[in-house]
Chains A and B, each alone.
Chain A
Amino acid sequence: MSQTPLLELRDLSVGLKGDRVEYDIVRNINLSIYQNEILAIVGESGCGKSLTALSILGLHASPPLRITSGSITYDGRDLTKVSPEELRKVRGAEIAMIFQDPMSALDPMFTVGTLLTSAIRAHKKVTDSAAEKIAHECLADAGIEDPRRRFGEFPFQLSGGVSQRVMIALALVNNPKILIADEPTTALDVTVQAQILERLKDLKNERGMSIMLITHNLGVVASVADRMAVMYTGEIVEIGSVQNVFSVPQHPYTTGLLGAVPRLGSNSVALVPIIGRVPLPDNLPKGCTFADRCGRVVPECGVNRPELVSRGAAEVRCFNPFR
Chain B
Amino acid sequence: MKIIFSRIVSTLLLLLASSLAVFAAIRFSGGDVTAARMPASASAADRELFRKQIGLDQPILKQYITYMGNFVTGDLGNSLTSNARISSLAVEKIRNSLILGGSSLLIVFLVGVPLGMIAALRRNTWVDTGITSFSVAGMAVPNFWLALIAIHLFASTLHWLPSGGQGGFKSVILPALVLSAEGIALTVRITRSAMLENIGQDFVRTLRASGFSERRIYFKHVLRSSLLPIISLAGLRVGQVVGYALVVETIFGWPGVGQILVNAVLRRDYPVIQFFSLLLVVVVTLGNLLASIGYTLANPRLRK
Which of B32-40, B149-157, B200-208, B252-260 binds A? B200-208
Known contacts A88-B211, A88-B213, A122-B212; is-contact A106 B206 (Cβ 8 Å): yes
Give the total of B residues in contact with A, Cβ under 8 Å.
Answer: 21
Known contacts A108-B300, A154-B300; is-contact A170 B211 (Cβ 8 Å): no
The answer to whether B203 touches A122 (Cβ under 8 A) is: no
Q: In the complex, what distance in Å separates the CA atom of A93 from the CA atom of B213?
A: 13
The answer to whether A59 touches B209 (Cβ under 8 A) is: yes
The answer to whether A105 touches B211 (Cβ under 8 A) is: no
Give the chain A neighbours of B208 by CB distance below 8 A. Answer: 57, 59, 91
Q: In the complex, what distance in Å separates the CA atom of A106 from the CA atom of B209?
A: 12
* Nearest 3 Cβ contacts at the A-B interface: A92-B211, A92-B210, A91-B211
| CB < 8 Å neighbour of A105 from B203, B221, B304 | B203
Known contacts A104-B201, A107-B221, A109-B300; is-contact A122 B206 (Cβ 8 Å): no
The answer to whether A92 touches B209 (Cβ under 8 A) is: yes
Give the chain B neighbours of A322 by CB distance below 8 A. Answer: none
CB distance from B303 to the nearest CB of A (A): 9
Q: Does any Cβ of B come within 8 Å of A99's Cβ?
A: yes
Pairs A–B under 8 Å by Cβ, sample size 9: A97-B209, A107-B203, A107-B221, A108-B203, A108-B301, A119-B210, A119-B211, A122-B211, A170-B206
Q: In the complex, what distance in Å separates the CA atom of A108 from the CA atom of B227?
A: 13
Q: Does any Cβ of A come within 8 Å of B225's Cβ?
A: yes
Q: Does any Cβ of B come within 8 Å of A52's Cβ?
A: no
Most buried by B among A84, A91, A104, A109: A109
User: Which residue numbers of A lie inside 8 Å of B, CB to CB?
Assistant: 57, 59, 84, 88-93, 96-97, 99, 101, 104-111, 118-119, 122-123, 154, 156-157, 167, 170-171, 174
Q: In the complex, what distance in Å separates the CA atom of A110 from the CA atom of B209?
A: 17
User: Which residue numbers of B lie inside 8 Å of A, CB to CB?
Assistant: 201-203, 205-214, 216, 221, 224-225, 299-301, 304
Known contacts A101-B202, A104-B203, A108-B203; is-contact A57 B225 (Cβ 8 Å): no
Give the chain B neighbours of A89 by CB distance below 8 A. Answer: 211
The answer to whether B301 touches A156 (Cβ under 8 A) is: yes
| CB < 8 Å neighbour of A110 from B201, B210, B221, B299 | B221
CB distance from B296 to the nearest CB of A (A): 14
The answer to whether A99 touches B300 (Cβ under 8 A) is: no
Q: In the complex, what distance in Å separates the CA atom of A90 from the CA atom of B304?
A: 36
Give the chain A neighbours of B213 by CB distance below 8 A. Answer: 88, 122
Please give me the residue from chain A that is nearest to B204 by CB atom: A107
The answer to whether B209 touches A154 (Cβ under 8 A) is: no
Please give me the residue from chain A that is nearest to B211 by CB atom: A92
CB distance from A90 to the nearest CB of B (A): 8
CB distance from A167 to the nearest CB of B (A): 7
Q: In the complex, what distance in Å separates the CA atom of A163 from the CA atom of B159?
A: 62
CB distance from B217 to the nearest CB of A (A): 9
CB distance from A103 to the nearest CB of B (A): 9
Q: In the complex, what distance in Å separates the CA atom of A109 from the CA atom of B225?
A: 7
Extra A-B contacts (6), CB below 8 Å, given A91-B208, A99-B206, A105-B203: A57-B208, A89-B211, A105-B202, A105-B206, A107-B203, A122-B211
Give the chain B neighbours of A92 by CB distance below 8 A. Answer: 209-211
Q: In the complex, what distance in Å separates the CA atom of A91 from the CA atom of B213?
A: 10
Q: In the complex, what distance in Å separates the CA atom of A88 from the CA atom of B210?
A: 8
Q: In the complex, what distance in Å separates the CA atom of A119 from the CA atom of B208?
A: 10
Q: In the complex, what distance in Å separates the CA atom of A105 from the CA atom of B207?
A: 9
Give the chain B neighbours of A84 by CB distance below 8 A. Answer: 214
The answer to whether A123 touches B211 (Cβ under 8 A) is: yes
The answer to whether B221 touches A154 (Cβ under 8 A) is: no
The answer to whether B225 touches A108 (Cβ under 8 A) is: yes
Give the chain B neighbours of A111 by CB distance below 8 A. Answer: 300
CB distance from A87 to the nearest CB of B (A): 9
Q: In the complex, what distance in Å separates the CA atom of A167 from the CA atom of B304?
A: 22
Give the chain A neighbours of B203 by CB distance below 8 A. Answer: 104-108
The answer to whether A122 touches B205 (Cβ under 8 A) is: no
Q: In the complex, what distance in Å separates the CA atom of A106 from the CA atom of B205?
A: 9
The answer to whether B304 touches A154 (Cβ under 8 A) is: yes
Q: In the complex, what distance in Å separates the CA atom of A174 from the CA atom of B209?
A: 12
Please give me the residue from chain B that is nearest to A107 by CB atom: B203
